[in-house]
Chains A and B, each alone.
Chain A
Amino acid sequence: MLEFMDYVQHSFYKASHWNTENSYSQLTATARELLEFDTPRGLRLNLSSLSSPNFATSYAIGSVGLVDGALSYLYTSLPLFPVSQSGNIDLHDVIRGYRQIQELRKQEESWMWEEWQGGKRIDKRNTLFYGRLYLPQSTLEALYLRRLSPTQQLKLSAVSDSRLKNGGTILALHQYDTGKYSTETLYSTDGGLVGVRGLYNFGPDPRKGITEPPRTEDRFYGRFSAGAEMYYGALNKSGGVSFGGRFATLPAHKGVPLTATLTLNPLMGNLSTTYAVKAGKNLALCSKFDFNVYSYESDLMLGCELWRMKAKAKKIQERSMAAKLEWRLDEVEKNPLPEPEEVTGVLKARVDQNWRIGLLWEGRIKELLFTLASSIDMNRPDQPFRAVGLEVQYSS
């Protein structure tokens, strides 16, 4: 489940029309959500508030070993109006499962951001500041996010911690997304790491406008994307490379939505494939297979997510005032629109070839969002439960 601050951050992306999914680092997002979800440990409480459209605060207290906590503040120059009450948040927005990729949108032109007043440009770039202080470790996290242009974004994240080498690290990430392709360049002060990532989407170019309607009669209507990444650590003279490709069906696809990815690490001889299907309206399945051609090591992981839905309580129909005045009953609606069902909970489960099982149950009780997680190791029958965690969030 997304933390409140991440939720606000995502609403910032949404409000500023930034597509986070069009990035090479998000190529395997579906498999990551279904197979590599975090299982919290211990008890954790989050208390958050979006006190104004520009300002959010969050407090967290946890008990892992000893009591620890975190204070976080967020400021954004772009007023945000997300649903902030934990009782009303749509769980689809905070619980990430199978990611349905969307049709690419045409990016805004840069002139669309221009605002002129009295012959001067007065428009400002949208920025977001975020800071979090962990106590009692005295670790400080800071994030600076700035939309440079409709196609560019700069993200600076820093961690200050006395236990780290040089007292902390800074990561600078510049993202450029045209829709058809996206590139990211990054630099990390830790080890002088320089990295480049790129993703290219095959198919129609959104910049030219959609000329033809989706050919939904095809067996698969989807999009193929391919990308690569490259890193080089200047100080420790080490690097890494990987290539990847993804095919995913688009919303207009009539059959079962599916996502398949293949990533290769030529240096380390690692090959990884994932395959995920949304088997039903409320069910998604995912498998992942890793193989190393050098060491012949392999790994298999299976996972699923199950959404539990509940029909919304029917509104009690009251006679409208107009009807009362006219001494008649309300007209019965001909085709009442089916009320969207409400999510009550999501169960995620994964198992790997070593019989390590992860379970996650996320849902809402009254006004509280909760995450209940457990990791089980079946190889140790004496104490199979390796960790149990409960996270409770409340926001207003």
Chain B
Amino acid sequence: MAFNFNWSPLTADAEFYKMAQQMLTTALNKSPKPPIIVDDILVNELNLGSVPPELEILEIGDLAEDRFRGIFKMCYSGDAFLTLKTRVQANPLNTYLFSKPSFTSPQPLAASSGLTIPLQITLSEIKLSAFIILVFSRQKGLTLVFRNDPLESLKVSSTFDSIPFVRDYLQKEIEMQLRTLMMDELPAIIHRLSLRLWCPEYRAQEAAELAEAEKLEKEEVAVDPLASPPQDAVDARGNVLDANEISTLSLDGGGSEIHSLFSQKNLLRLAALTDSHRTLSLFTPSIRDAVFRAWASPSERDTAGTSTPATPSLQRSASSVANSSTTYTFSRGSDDGYGHMPSRPSLVSLQSATTGLSLGAGRHSRSHMRKKKNRVVNLRKPKTTDDMASESGSESASVSASEPIISTRIPEEPEDNIITPPRSPSGKVRFRTSSIDLGDSPHKFRLSAPSRSALSSKAIPEQVILDSTSAPAIEKDEPIIYSRARRPSLKKRQSPPEKAPAIHLTPAPILSSEPVSESRGIVEQAWVLKMAGEIAKRAHDEKASREGFWSGSTADEREETPPPAYQAKAL
């Protein structure tokens, strides 16, 4: 097992420092201050230095991609330093009288008059040595606890170094304060940070500080040791997702913008991979920075034998995108670029994209589709169902049967997407089962850029279909569909009701996806796009070992790969 410990990104990120300074400032001012400090403590300067702490793994209690529990031994004696600014009471008699009962106070007349002096304290040569208990889970965030007092020694230098009494006093006080900070405040801060990272609900609360959160994520990724995709995919409420569901959901965020992120090469690789799965061919394309791992949970295997492990992560990111708060870290962790849904498109768009395809290709199974559709529709909100039914009808009518039409239609997907969210998967499944053309997906990947997203989305479902060979499999799918139907609603809750109007708009196939995107705040989208671009760039830059995305690959085919692949990106 290898841990990749990235210290330098932390030290290089200016925004991280800014944020950390803020957090430290609030933390320092929270606990009651000693009477000698008469003003707020401001963190003036913070530098983590270039020497990373030494970590020794003592014990790993639990290890999975979405949870981790371990004990570390940490030693630090680096060149980090911290500069604090505050104002202190220079009159010792004044502080002496503070918090003393007035009944026995000597009541000096003017000897206790105060003199406040601005003080600058530099904490350096910090030596830490501690046992750290680290518990991580996706839902509950990261909990870090010091088992013992971590502070071994530090040097306090201040404006009053020439006065030994004051120097000693400051040293004592600050050590005490820092100890409480380390023991009590730091775990809380880290927990808060991690929550902000991984819990959409929590982040939604802080949506106001979106920009700040953005920074946070950036730096957090570096900090986060466990940013790997979830093994058992779970939605925001903690329900385990089926692989099928995941596959559909994962791509839903794709929209038309997705291709801007995905490099063609990677897409081709992925396509080849899925093909290899389908065909049971022994050849698997090597994908850099990816680890295949077996599925552990049986439930997934039941519902859909194989699913691209990538999808969970994708799905995650997508969902988070759908929430106005985006967890980019997460997606980045999952894979370079792949995890990012650049825009905030809902699932709906994605699914519909697939539908479009399915419609075109599988027109012969239209009756089936309809049945399915209806089923799905029932689960959705009545209003949308009506729309969908009508739309689907019109759509099917409009779609001509021939293959070329499909390809031409593909650019238009966005509209479709919006129109028919839930039915698409089912329809596709049908289509797949009915006509298993193996060469299909790769061929499609070669299509023009706008269509790519749809294709990719299609590609993954295909896989699902592959394993669900017969009708029973399809039957199994139905519950999945239900859950899927539920999913979108979930999303809806997060993504504002603007969606509904969008659905109404969409029936006209001419409409492009733009109106929809506009309907969601343009600013948000712009931001998201920017973020996505940035992350993509980053992802390309650092080809560091990022296994996450594909790590959870199919168990069936690749038994020989070491199942638990866990990689800590950076601690």
Contact = CB atoms under 8 A, between A and B. Distances in A.
Q: Do A and B associate with each other?
A: yes
Interface string B67-103: 0000000000000000000000011110010001101
Interface stretch (B104-112, B192-200, B519-527): B104-112
A242 B113 contact: yes
Given A169-B100, A169-B101, A268 B109 contact: no
B115 interface: yes
B117 interface: yes
A152 interface: no
Contacts of A352: none
B105 A171 contact: yes
A161 B99 CA distance: 12
A265 B92 contact: no
B159 to A, nearest CB: 13
Nearest to A190: B100
Nearest to A23: B109
Contacts, number: 102
Nearest to A195: B106
A25 B110 contact: no
A193 B113 contact: no
Interface string A18-62: 000000110110000000000000000000000000000000000
Contacts of B96: 190-191, 193, 233, 236, 238
Contacts of A193: 96, 106
A242 B110 contact: yes
Report the interface size class on chain B.
Answer: 20 to 34
B109 A242 contact: yes
A170 interface: yes
Contacts of A229: 108-111
B192 to A, nearest CB: 28
Given A169-B101, A270-B114, A297-B116, A237 B165 contact: yes
Contact of B112 (A171, A237, A240): A240
A270 B110 CA distance: 8
A290 B115 CA distance: 11
Contact of A295 (B107, B109, B111, B117): B117
Contacts of B93: 231, 233, 238-240
Contacts of B114: 268, 270
Main secondary structure of the interface of A (DSSP, over half): strand
Interface in B176-207: none
A377 interface: no
Given A141-B103, A164-B101, A239-B93, A265 B116 contact: no
Contact of A171 (B91, B92, B106): B106
A164 B102 CA distance: 13
Nearest to A171: B104
Interface string A230-259: 110100111111101000000000000000
A240 B104 contact: no
Contacts of A230: 111
Interface in A113-166: 139, 141, 143, 157-159, 161, 164
Contact of B115 (A28, A170, A264, A270): A270
Nearest to B117: A295
B104 A236 contact: no
A-B interface, 10 closest residue pairs, ranked by CB to CB distance from nearest? A238-B92, A240-B111, A242-B110, A240-B93, A263-B110, A270-B113, A268-B115, A171-B104, A242-B111, A159-B101
